[in-house]
Amino acid sequence: NIPQNIFEPEGDDDHMKMLDQVELGQRRKHYPKRKNMGKCPPLFGNVTVFVAAVESSYKTCYLKSVNYAFVFVNLDTDERVNKNCKHDQLFFKKHCAASVYLPDTDWMLVLDADAGVVNPNHCIEEWIDDRVDIIFYERSFNWEIASGNYLVKNTPFAREFLRKWGDWQYIQPSNWNGADNGVLQMHILQTVLPEAKAEIKACDNIWHRGQGYGTYMNFVTCVKVMLGANRLFPGKLRIYRRVHGWIRDAYLTDDGWSEYDFMMHGWKAQEVGAAGWVSPFTKMFNVSECESGYSGWNWRNEKRIPVQEVRRRLANFEKAAGKTFPKEARDLPYLTEPDIGECYPHCDDRT
């Protein structure tokens, strides 16, 4: 069983017990968990699912059971996109395209082509936080803020954030920079901590020195250190902790899933059994069978596992990920980059 309070301190650590008495500020609006494939009440307005490039039945079957709008955009031929987005790099153009279609809805879930639903008994709104305009999550294996899948609210702030993100195509570093993933780390840091000039410069220096994955991850580490433990920036954005968002990498648990899972990432194969892939499903979807309830969902029994087993597999992965994290990425920026030497006595003038 899941402990009632997994953060309960052991022994006599009274200072930890004091945390329960701390006022945490405004709480998010509660959205009830979907039960038995019931309706998803539109408590946050209209929700649209946005997919660019390639569509798959992994999403379509789920969408037939809900009232969400669905937008599939061909980035090469869509007139609205090509009128407003002159980008020639796919992923930067995708974010611009999302900003173009965002005014048509209240909330938009932007998904990668290789994302799919494994457990349809969830509503997208379960992950909407009404205190912010954009919602991201951390990648499981390296703590990078993921760029492929995100929730975004139709607000001036969110539309501008997406447009600026897309326009980073033209000013991104020319070295090994992580493309739109790398840009997102810097874009978020500058957006939520614009006054942290020395810290932004430190991470930018590391970013521009990247020569491969290991040195790039040093930049990701820098951004994570500068953001600190805070993942919620009211009025702007939220970053879900690893595997706590609406989607996670399927390979972490060998495609095993529990009632807490909703979507999986990394399903690149379009056929069950392709390249030896043991899918959570016994066969590909026949979308004509997907209606109400669980009709059309053909799961492998052995892939549905208790949440305790999911947690055990995640714990094993977590230990391995820490041990294999690139050595180049373990440097702490406040030990390797200038903090006061280049800005004294004006380092805090913008604060």
Q: Residue 263: count other Cβ atoms within 10 Å of its Cβ.
A: 27
Q: Please state the pTM of the whole predicted model.
A: 0.92
Residue 278: the pLDDT is: 82
Residue 116 belongs to a domain? yes
Residue 299 belongs to a domain? yes
Residue 232: the pLDDT is: 98
Tens of pLDDT, residues 22-33 = 667 788 999 999
Element (H, E) at 205: helix 197-208
157 burial level (CB within 10 Å; 0-12, 13-18, 19+): middle
**Residue 7 — very low, low, confident or very high, per pLDDT cuts 50/70/90?**
low
Residue 275 belongs to a domain? yes
Instruction: Give the whole-angstrom CA distance, residue 236 versus residue 349.
Output: 23
Residue 190 belongs to a domain? yes
Residue 274: the pLDDT is: 64
Residues 6+ apart with CB under 8 A from 315: none
Instruction: Give the whole-angstrom CA distance, residue 62 versus residue 290.
Output: 8
The SS3 assignment for 163 reads helix
Q: What residue numbers bound the domain in which 260 lies?
A: 45-336
Q: Residue 202: count other Cβ atoms within 10 Å of its Cβ.
A: 23
Instruction: Give the whole-angstrom CA distance, residue 289 versus residue 152.
Output: 31
Residue 24 belongs to a domain? no
User: Which residues make beta-bridge pairs with 247?
Assistant: 263
Number of domains in the chain: 1
Residue 151 belongs to a domain? yes
Tens of pLDDT, residues 57-78 = 678 899 999 999 999 999 999 9
Are 227 and 244 in contact by the 8 Å Cβ rule? The answer is no
Q: In what order do the strands lie in the sheet with 134-137?
A: 69-73, 47-52, 107-111, 150-153, 134-137, 237-240, 232-233
Listed as own residue / partner, the contacts of 217-220 with beta carbons closer than 8 Å and 24 or more positions apart are: 217/142, 217/144, 217/325, 217/326, 217/328, 217/329, 218/326, 218/328, 218/329, 218/330, 218/331, 219/178, 219/182, 219/185, 220/142, 220/143, 220/144, 220/178, 220/182, 220/185, 220/329
**Residue 341 — very low, low, confident or very high, per pLDDT cuts 50/70/90?**
confident
* Residue 331 one-letter amino acid: D
Residue 104 belongs to a domain? yes
Q: Which residue has the tokens 């992994």?
A: 58
